[in-house]
């Protein structure tokens, strides 16, 4: 009962990696997912680059090692954006490491809702 009360969580924007994306000169080829994430993989959006909004910092499970990683990906590779609480211990650890290394926005519900509204316009 005490461990449940002490469990930390962050309110984050969550998205899924798109199934197929254009690749190569002029988008002639298609690739599934991204280099680091499988198609449909759930990723937690923990930071962004305001002003440009082309790239976001996410945490998710790597496509080959299945370990949680932090990566910078294009916002256009995300779909199904929503606000959720992140209870994953590995993700919480990576979020804390990210916040300790650089000034990062506080992960509140308002911040997550803002990301969910702004990011689709940059696709």
1 pLDDT more than 60:
no
Mean per-residue pLDDT of the chain = 86
The predicted pLDDT at position 123 comes to: 57
Non-local CB neighbours of 80 within 8 Å, separated by 6+ positions: 15, 16
Nearest-5° angle of CA 15, CA 21, CA 22?
150
42 pLDDT more than 70:
yes
The predicted pLDDT at position 115 comes to: 86
The predicted pLDDT at position 61 comes to: 94
Q: Which residues pair with 11 in a beta bridge?
A: 85
The predicted pLDDT at position 5 comes to: 46
Among residues 43, 19, 42, 41, the alpha carbon closest in space to that of 32 is found at 19
Q: Give 79-122 pLDDT, tens digit per residue.
A: 999 999 999 999 999 999 988 887 777 888 998 988 888 887 65
Measured distance CA(80)–CA(25) in Å, rounded: 27
């Amino acid at each position: 009962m005490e461990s449940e009360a002490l469990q930390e969580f962050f309110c984050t924007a969550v998205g899924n990696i798109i199934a197929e994306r254009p690749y190569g000169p002029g988008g002639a080829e298609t690739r599934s997912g991204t280099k680091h994430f499988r198609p449909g993989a759930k990723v937690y959006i923990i930071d962004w680059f305001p002003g440009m909004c082309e790239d976001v910092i996410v945490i998710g499970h790597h496509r080959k090692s299945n370990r949680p990683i932090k990566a910078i990906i294009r916002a256009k590779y995300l779909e199904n954006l929503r606000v959720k609480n992140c209870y994953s211990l590995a993700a919480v650890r990576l979020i804390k490491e990210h916040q300790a290394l650089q000034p990062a926005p506080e992960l509140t519900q308002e911040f997550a809702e803002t990301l969910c509204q702004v990011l689709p316009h940059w696709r």
